[in-house]
């Protein structure tokens, strides 16, 4: 993917509770496009704080699916609730409804090491393919990361 395909100043919030992976994602984003404003958070609570500090305005959320404090599902749901025009639902129902109706103001990349049946259930439940959420299988290459980024920012 060329730099032009994801160019422009965009605010990207990266949430990962594993410090080395958080730094890796940040470096990959910098290599892909130096114009990204990259915000990092070490988990659920920190992500909510960062989101508030930037006035609830991000262009992309990249989050780990399984985290110690609360999982990526809770984070996505809570950030959507904090965004404008959200329906009165919660949890997975809120996420599915928001992406179906394109009510979100930001796309999401969910990174996870889930495989097999667990990954299939997540994809099915969230309707990740074609509904605004891109699934990124850990361990991923720079090429995998670029592909997920390109899909998310279309």
What is the reported pLDDT for 3? Answer: 33
What is the reported pLDDT for 71? Answer: 67
- Determine the angle formed by the axes of helices 19-32 and 142-152, rounding to 10 degrees: 70
The mean of the pLDDT values for the chain is 76
Q: Where are the domains of the chain?
A: 3-152
DSSP 24-49: HHHHHHHHH-TT-EEEEESSHHHHHH
Task: Write down the H helix ranges in 14-108.
Answer: 19-32, 44-53, 72-82, 91-100
In angstroms, the CA 148 to CA 135 distance is: 7
Q: Is a pLDDT exceeding 60 seen at residue 53?
A: yes
What is the reported pLDDT for 57? Answer: 82
Residue bearing the bigger pLDDT, 7 or 94: 94
What is the reported pLDDT for 14? Answer: 95
What is the reported pLDDT for 83? Answer: 58
Q: Is a pLDDT exceeding 80 seen at residue 58?
A: yes
Which range among 3-12, 94-103, 143-152 shows the weakest confidence by mean pLDDT? 94-103
What is the reported pLDDT for 129? Answer: 41
* pLDDT mean over 129-149: 82
Q: Is a pLDDT exceeding 80 seen at residue 123?
A: no
Name the architecture of domain 3-152: 3-Layer(aba) Sandwich (3.40)
Q: Is a pLDDT exceeding 60 seen at residue 100?
A: no
User: And the tokens for 5?
Assistant: 């395909």
Residue bearing the bigger pLDDT, 98 or 112: 112
Residue bearing the bigger pLDDT, 94 or 54: 54
């Amino acid at each position: 993917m060329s730099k032009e395909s994801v160019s422009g100043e965009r605010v990207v919030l990266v949430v990962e509770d594993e410090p080395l992976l958080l730094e890796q994602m940040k470096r990959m984003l910098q290599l892909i496009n130096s114009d990204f404003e990259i915000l990092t958070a070490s988990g659920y609570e920190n992500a909510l704080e960062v989101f508030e500090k930037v006035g609830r305005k991000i262009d992309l959320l990249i989050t780990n699916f399984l985290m110690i404090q609360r999982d990526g599902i809770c984070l996505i749901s809570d950030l959507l609730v904090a965004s404008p025009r959200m329906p009165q639902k919660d949890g997975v129902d809120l996420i599915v409804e928001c992406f179906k109706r394109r009510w979100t103001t930001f796309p999401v990349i969910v990174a996870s090491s889930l495989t097999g049946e667990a990954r299939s259930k997540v994809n099915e439940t969230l309707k990740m393919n074609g509904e605004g959420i891109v699934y990124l299988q850990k361990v991923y290459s720079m090429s995998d990361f670029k592909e997920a980024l390109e899909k998310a920012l279309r």
